[in-house]
Structure 1
Amino acid sequence: MPPSKLDEEYVQNSFHTYLKSSLTQAKVEKLIEDQVLASAEADLMISGPALCLYFAALRCTTNPPSVPLPRATKSAPPLELTADNCPPAFLGFLAVWAATVPRIQGLAPHHQHDLARIICGLDPISIPPNPECTCIAADLRAVAIEISQRRTFQDKYASDLQAALDAGSRNGLKVKTSFVPPPDSSSASSPSSVLSAFPPRSPSPLILTQDTPEIDFIRETLYSALAVVLEQITASPTRNPHPLARLFKYDPPRAHFAAVSLAILEVATTEGIIIPDQNAIMCVSAREIGGHKLTLNACPGPLRPFMSELISIGRDAQMMQVADNDATIKAIEKGDEDIPEPMFERVKVIIIDGVRVSGDSAESGGRRRRGSIEGRGVTFANRVNALGLSISKINAFREREKMVFEVLGPRP
């Protein structure tokens, strides 16, 4: 008889217990500063869970890797999370994490510290840097992104951040985190500002409101792309539904984030929207025929990091598509029967399905997915997903987002 699966809520609560201690440890080791914990930068939704996975890998002593879980009571027997008792919803996360354990433990101590720094968006100290650290960080951040897209995680993350802030606080002074969970598709949006998604390292008095025209231009451009993505989902045939159509049925929060990320890719690769060599975006505008050209220099300071990353993603996505086309043409010219999977298509698969460790499995068009979770595809998908999470924290973008999904999104 197979072992019974652990309760999903119990595993969730255990993760948050470890997350609090991981954030506190990162604070002690100066990987994350108090002001970052307090400001609740958008990337903290990714680096926090990724650090938790990293510390768990360092502590792991079993083979195959497992996670010791906190005891429900003092008299309860010790319990470990394994592939046999893991709830199905978390099995993919556990598999990817388990694959990183021997890689992390095989690193030299100084490279392990570099890995933690990379997870937190800091530069590695070692010269030259170990490329394996970058690959492992991408895998951990990919899992962290999927975790952070879960509503149950978002609802509890503020208390995790606050616990880390309170740890070691002196003179009775308490700093309160400003983290506010992104609204789910079934609730009204909660107040936020662009500063909470991309807070500057130094305080700034500038607050962007919904009347800021630059936000309006970018917002309408993203909404237009989101409409295209949602139309592709709803227009797909019943016999062969769009992958996101299935995701909307069994995991609406993840489908919501995936749709936003695909909309970012739509903006990035639609000809004429992103103009990398001019650091500009040709935005949708109801008043200007042909659109409004918004340059990075004309963008308000708090919005500039967001726009800069969007332009950078556009530049890299366009180069990726060119490289994919060149590789396909070369394979055809050589008469190769095994046409390489385009990296750009791989990125979209990761955004929709998440990162997984699996053997080769048949995919559409006769292609086969690689068992490896390493590669540029994971890193690039992480960037797109991270930008999507950041968008969800900006009130000016999300204030009408719910309406877009309600009107154009797939019906349950």
Structure 2
Amino acid sequence: MPPSKLDEEYVQNSFHTYLKSSLTQAKVEKLIEDQVLASAEADLMISGPALCLYFAALRCTTNPPSVPLPRATKSAPPLELSADNCPPTFLGFLAVWGANVPRIQGLIPDHQHDLARIICGLQPLSIPPNPECAGIAADLRAVAIEISQRRTFQDRYANDLQAALDAGSSGRGLKVKTSFVPPPVYSDSLAPGSSGYGSKKLSPSPSSPSSVLSAFPSRTPSPMILTQDTPEIDFIRETLYSALAAVLEDITAFQTRNPHPLARLFKYDPPRAHFAAVSLAILEVATTEGIILPDQNAIMCVSAREIGGHKLTPDACPEPLRPFMIELISIGRDAQVMQDEDNEATIKAIERGDEDIPEPRFERVKVIIIDGVRVSRDSGEDGSRMRKRSLEGRAVAFANRVNALGLSISRIKAFRDREKEVFDVLGPHP
């Protein structure tokens, strides 16, 4: 008789218990400062859960890897989360984590510390740095991104941050409060907990992305008349919305043949589908010829109402938005290089007469954005596996950058205000 699966809420509660202690430990080790915890920067939604996975890997003593869970009561027997008893919702996360446990434990202590620093966006201290650390960090951050996109995580994350802020405080002076506020629920049908990591799937009633999107307010957004006097953020927003339209139109086109993978995600996990659509829109902007101008460090914000577009540089942006603008341009520059490398690799494979044309890395990035990171099951010689692992690691790292920017943009009020309306108007219809 197979072992029974653990209760999802119990596993979820255990994760948040460890997340609080991991954030506190990172604070003690100066990996994360109090002001970062208080500001609740978007990247902390990624680095926090990734650190939790990292510390759990260091504590792991079993093979295959498993996670000891906090006891529900003092008299309860010890319990470990393993592939045998893991709820299906968490199996993908556990598999990626388990594949990285021996890699993490195989690092020397200095490189383990470097790995924690990379997870937190800090530079490694070792010279030269161990390249293995970057690949492991990419995997852990990819899992953390999937976790941070879940509504059940977002609803409890502020408490985790506050617990870390309160740890070690003397009680004197003003208490530092975290500023994190969960992003809005993107559909009236999605009450907190109705979808997310550790939550049950939605009922079969939303049979298509259009039916999910139709739960948004049924009102056409006021048209944006863009002129040279329009605030710069409106140009950026409308350019991203135009790209979002292209992403959603692509879903509709697929419905005539077979379901688009993003359409399936809208059906079963709308919050994650929302983030994936925003990230794909960022890629659309980054790879549309004539929008990203890397040589000029600028974006040509295109609007149907303004002939010729509107060139925008980071210096012209409001100061709080400049980091996002700089990263968007950088992603565009790197995406164009990636596509050129993919084309070159395909041409060389054809010239060699290879039967299996390698999957373009850029296409792999899109798959990761929609489906999340998965355990690679490459076969072949060790050299081939190492090469595939390197390519996969680079694809995961790039997808992480796009997803991180998507999470950041989704938290900006100026983007959120019209986003629900845009999804309703631009969403695919039967």
Q: 1:141 to 1:212 in 2, by over 3 A?
A: farther
Q: Measure, in 1, the Cα distance between the counterparts of 2:419 and 2:188.
A: 11
Matched, 1:382 2:383: no
Aligned partner of residue 324 in structure 2, secondary structure: helix
Report deviation, 1:239. 4.8
Matched, 1:338 2:339: no
Aligned to 2:216: none
Aligned partner of residue 52 in structure 1, secondary structure: helix
Answer whether contact 2:252 2:428 (CA < 8 A) is retained: yes
Q: Measure, in 1, the Cα distance between the counterparts of 2:368 and 2:326.
A: 23
Aligned to 2:64: 64
Q: Measure, in 2, the Cα distance between the counterparts of 1:153 and 1:411.
A: 30
Q: Measure, in 1, the Cα distance between the counterparts of 2:60 and 2:123.
A: 26
Aligned to 2:308: 290
Aligned to 2:177: 176
Report deviation, 1:407. 2.3
Task: Give 1:8-157 correspondences, 5 Å limit.
Answer: 8-157=8-157
Answer whether contact 1:343 1:377 (CA < 8 A) is retained: yes
What is the TM-score normalised by the length of structure 2?
A: 0.86
Q: Measure, in 1, the Cα distance between the counterparts of 2:421 and 2:187.
A: 10
Aligned to 1:263: 281
Q: 1:373 to 1:103 in 2, by over 3 A?
A: farther
What is the TM-score normalised by the length of structure 1?
A: 0.89
Matched, 1:306 2:307: no
Q: 1:397 to 1:275 in 2, by over 3 A?
A: same
* 1:280-331 deviation per Cα after TM superposition (whole angstroms, max 9, x unaligned): 1010235531211101222222111000000000000011111111111111
Answer whether contact 1:359 1:371 (CA < 8 A) is retained: no
Report deviation, 1:398. 1.2
Gaps of 5+ in 1: 189-210, 362-369
* Structure 1 stretches of 4+ moved >4 Å: 370-374
Letter in 2 for 1:384: V
Answer whether contact 1:245 1:410 (CA < 8 A) is retained: no
Aligned partner of residue 71 in structure 1, secondary structure: coil
Q: Measure, in 1, the Cα distance between the counterparts of 2:230 and 2:28.
A: 39
Letter in 2 for 1:123: Q
Letter in 2 for 1:185: Y
Letter in 1 for 2:106: G
Letter in 2 for 1:159: N
* 1:217-248 deviation per Cα after TM superposition (whole angstroms, max 9, x unaligned): 10000000001101111221355111101111
Q: Measure, in 2, the Cα distance between the counterparts of 1:400 and 1:103.
A: 44
Q: Measure, in 2, the Cα distance between the counterparts of 1:167 and 1:44.
A: 17
Which sits farther off after the overlay, 370-379 or 216-225?
370-379
Aligned to 2:166: 166
Q: What is the count of residue pairs matched by the alignment?
A: 382
Answer whether contact 2:361 2:391 (CA < 8 A) is retained: no
Q: Measure, in 1, the Cα distance between the counterparts of 2:15 and 2:240.
A: 34
* 1:37-67 deviation per Cα after TM superposition (whole angstroms, max 9, x unaligned): 0000010000000000000000000000000
Aligned to 2:197: none
Q: 1:373 to 1:147 in 2, by over 3 A?
A: farther
Q: Measure, in 1, the Cα distance between the counterparts of 2:133 and 2:321.
A: 30
Answer whether contact 1:284 1:291 (CA < 8 A) is retained: yes
Q: 1:7 to 1:372 in 2, by over 3 A?
A: farther
Answer whether contact 2:243 2:282 (CA < 8 A) is retained: yes
Answer whether contact 1:161 1:177 (CA < 8 A) is retained: yes
Answer whether contact 1:357 1:373 (CA < 8 A) is retained: no
Match of 2:235 among 209, 217, 227: 217
Q: Measure, in 2, the Cα distance between the counterparts of 1:164 and 1:411.
A: 45
Q: Measure, in 2, the Cα distance between the counterparts of 1:2 and 1:371.
A: 33
Gaps of 5+ in 2: 190-228, 380-387
Q: Measure, in 2, the Cα distance between the counterparts of 1:241 and 1:371.
A: 29
Answer whether contact 1:40 1:179 (CA < 8 A) is retained: yes
Aligned partner of residue 255 in structure 2, secondary structure: coil
Report deviation, 1:371. 7.7
Aligned partner of residue 400 in structure 1, secondary structure: helix
| Percent pairwise identity | 88
Which sits farther off after the overlay, 248-257 or 230-239?
230-239
Matched, 1:321 2:339: yes
Aligned to 1:392: 410
Aligned to 1:206: none
Answer whether contact 1:357 1:372 (CA < 8 A) is retained: no
Letter in 1 for 2:321: L
Report deviation, 1:374. 4.3
Q: Measure, in 2, the Cα distance between the counterparts of 1:383 and 1:128.
A: 24
Aligned partner of residue 267 in structure 2, secondary structure: helix
* 1:167-186 deviation per Cα after TM superposition (whole angstroms, max 9, x unaligned): 01124331000001111212
Q: Measure, in 2, the Cα distance between the counterparts of 1:330 and 1:347.
A: 21
Task: Give 1:343-382 correspondences, 5 Å limit.
Answer: 343-359=361-377, 374-382=392-400
Report deviation, 1:372. 8.1
Answer whether contact 1:268 1:313 (CA < 8 A) is retained: yes
Letter in 2 for 1:119: I
